[in-house]
Chain A
């Protein structure tokens, strides 16, 4: 019997788990993906939105600004890199100016610091901004962090404080029961057999999986793109997720020092349909630059293919806008040959046009934290505090005296000083084995990413945790070595190592001459 089951281990689910771990509660997180952070938390830009743009009065407005403050605090407590470099929304024409004034008004109502800056002060703020820029809305509290690192750090900290996790556990049914809820999840038979109380008789293998039923006093729905499905299992107050796909183009780190703040043009309708917060250029904490993103409605919330239309839209937009940005105002053309990657994913937009937060009237004990489109990543901890608060009020648990808000984290080798590097190598010579050349990731860090609690089990899971394969060559050089290390650490044949879980094996077999 669990006190609370959290469905979904994205940023909101892991934040909620971590917040609940402050109390003496038995908490279980069920994640359907092969890894944590498998949905929208993995595909977003990592921007910390200050909260200047949600429509005042909405849940998005209510949780964004407090979430922003909490995000900086979480990054500090859990040793996750973040940059508070402000957000700058620029306007190049009259309609853009109107939009700036509107956003300034929203910011005021949402209690977010924001200020319209026009020339000449604009050129003090941003000396290299293009001359066609009429004004900017300067939002000093905006920033950027790494969404995977945040999510993994929250999960690890929750785990260290006693929360249990199952990956590859897809919730297929939720029934109300006397004590609360019966939550059934389908998971690999091998994992199910290890669960106390599950007997081989319970297992009805079906494609290697079997259903396992857990009982819980309360359930929190943090299922992101699938939060409608989970809600609709329990409540008659139904909603629907309309997945909104967006893509990002990643630029080489070469010129990122020229970009001192996140810059985005005022939101406008996209030529291909859709509407975004504005096309942004963001320097990530890893040093690369992200360009994006567009918005297109799709059917599958798990859709992550890169769409030709999205890429063309982003590249075409930045080719035009480059002259307005500090990187192109001197006439430098858009560096198309410095694009190193493209990625995309879906925002879980609810048909209610807002986050769906709280208990539906007809399902007490079932708490929604759904419809978590942007700015939900920024808001994740504020949402977590709110939904965890509902559980605490209901269950009145004692405080967990052993709760440790910090997570032991080593600095990345690439961020160390040479003295720190020397010391790290002296302690563990694997620090001197550079596996990923482009991002300077060492064998020690890759082994650690696999050995850590809730660690990596595939090549792309190593990438998310260490940046190995995220650089210029996109894993061309390092993936064979990462595969070898995974095989050693997991005790499996290299042939069984996957790109991203499931049937995504990298290798097809032995060479005939091997």
Chain B
């Protein structure tokens, strides 16, 4: 079995950034495993611009953005394997992967960064009824046909959902000489970035139907039209509101889902809210030494933030590896008299019980739960360790609705029962729990969320709430991530952290 210090699963924006930053922080034995024939992930098919404005202060295409990181990987001579598909990830951080060049390989990693990205929600998952012939595909699949393969998947297009890929594809289809007949969005507002709504939809006069769904797909062997109908406040179709739009293609752009099948198979505790792993502030999952970042952790809006998070994960993995090495050295030193054989045995047994020990330590040290209050979706990280070595902690989440003149607050309740905090907040305690442990943990987590939400009405009286931070925003939308940074110093005595959004819903 091949031994590698740090394995990065996925060579997209997050994975490359993680590898580069781990290298810069001292890790030399790195291996990136990428399933495609080139580094870059989905960026390879993103030929539009708007990438890199934050990270490089430049307006790049997706392909160019990927190339920046791929160049860094090359320059640093970080090893990577292409066409390599990871088929198994185990809780002891062993990995099984296959590639035509290497065959089936087994790798033992000291640390792992998960950066597998996400997939698109399908037509069937959305339960869109009707015909099942050709002409129905996700926006990303259409993007691949168009930008990688050079084919037009259709000529008259209706798009379901106003996710960013769909918006980008709407513009591109118009530029290709096709007609985009409609964008149909179930919510009263767009799910994409405001700039994409402006530049891809409004500038091209593409009709958008809000509060609407496809009530039926018509056609036999290929789509010939769709029926569009209004929904009520419970998002159920209002009968009688349907009208027909003729089209030959239905594109689905209604959400992304982190691809966490490997994560779950390793027994890592998952968040029901983000559909990613539960992580501590250093992006470490419930299995020590396994980190998660990018769209596999939670769906981002901008690739700049994906790679930023990747860099964080790489840095933290490097720090964790260093700390592990130091611990191992100390242990060896203190047991000079013990024979070498016994030491290696010790190391082996340590390896297997690592998860357990770490979880105990974690509970001892105390963890701060991070909770969603009013208007706040799934937050990353879900837990902050009270003794975190990081100088500041980044929190990311999406608003659940659209706001004008909004204030985001982070607070904690004075009277909160801290014993509960350890139990719920410790992502790591569930590490070996498997499915059942995971569920019960999620369930209790959900309960806590609810509690936080109820407690938030107390915000008006304010007597029990200690405010950690308040930030004002002109507008917030579910299409854009909120990123709040709080110095670790400020969090030291907080038994919990609750985020709320107050403002006028629009």
Residues of A within 8 A of B (CB): 250, 254-255, 304-308, 311, 315, 330-332, 337, 339-343, 418, 421-422, 425-426, 429-434, 437-438, 440, 472-477, 479-480, 484, 494-495, 498-514
Contact = CB atoms under 8 A, between A and B. Distances in A.
B137 interface: yes
Contacts of A512: 176-177
A445 B431 CA distance: 36
A472 B131 CA distance: 20
A499 B123 contact: no
Contacts of A500: 133-134, 221
B153 A507 contact: yes
Interface in B419-447: 435, 439, 443
30 contacts: A254-B264, A255-B435, A305-B129, A305-B217, A307-B129, A308-B215, A308-B237, A330-B439, A337-B125, A339-B127, A342-B129, A418-B96, A418-B104, A421-B98, A430-B100, A440-B87, A473-B120, A474-B123, A474-B124, A475-B122, A476-B140, A507-B152, A508-B153, A511-B146, A511-B152, A511-B176, A512-B176, A512-B177, A513-B150, A514-B150
A514 B147 CA distance: 9
Contacts of A304: 132
Task: Count chain A CB atoms within 10 A of each CB in B87, B106, B120, B443 and give the residue with the most.
Answer: B87
A506 B153 contact: yes
Given A418-B96, A502-B221, A437 B125 contact: no
A473 B122 contact: yes
B154 interface: yes
A437 B135 CA distance: 22
B11 to A, nearest CB: 15
Given A254-B264, A508-B152, 8 more contacts: A306-B130, A308-B237, A315-B127, A433-B100, A440-B87, A475-B122, A480-B141, A500-B134
B145 interface: yes
A126 B41 CA distance: 45
Contact of A305 (B130, B134, B154, B221): B130
A438 B122 CA distance: 13
Contacts of B131: 305
A237 B175 CA distance: 61
Contact of A476 (B102, B141, B146, B221): B141
Contact of B216 (A308, A332, A472, A494): A308
Given A340-B125, A341-B124, A433-B100, A476 B154 contact: no
Contacts of A418: 96, 104, 106
A340 B120 CA distance: 12
A261 B125 CA distance: 25
Interface in B195-249: 215-217, 221-222, 237, 248-249
B183 to A, nearest CB: 19
B300 interface: no
Task: Count chain B CB atoms within 10 A of each CB in A305, A330, A332 and give the residue with the most.
Answer: A305
B152 to A, nearest CB: 5
A494 B151 CA distance: 9
A270 to B, nearest CB: 17
A421 B154 contact: no
Interface string B87-105: 1000000001011101110
Contact of A306 (B132, B148, B176): B132
A499 B134 contact: yes
A432 B134 contact: no
Contacts of B261: 438, 472
Nearest to B86: A434
Contacts of A433: 83, 100
Contact of B98 (A255, A434, A511): A434
B133 A311 contact: no
A59 B222 CA distance: 39
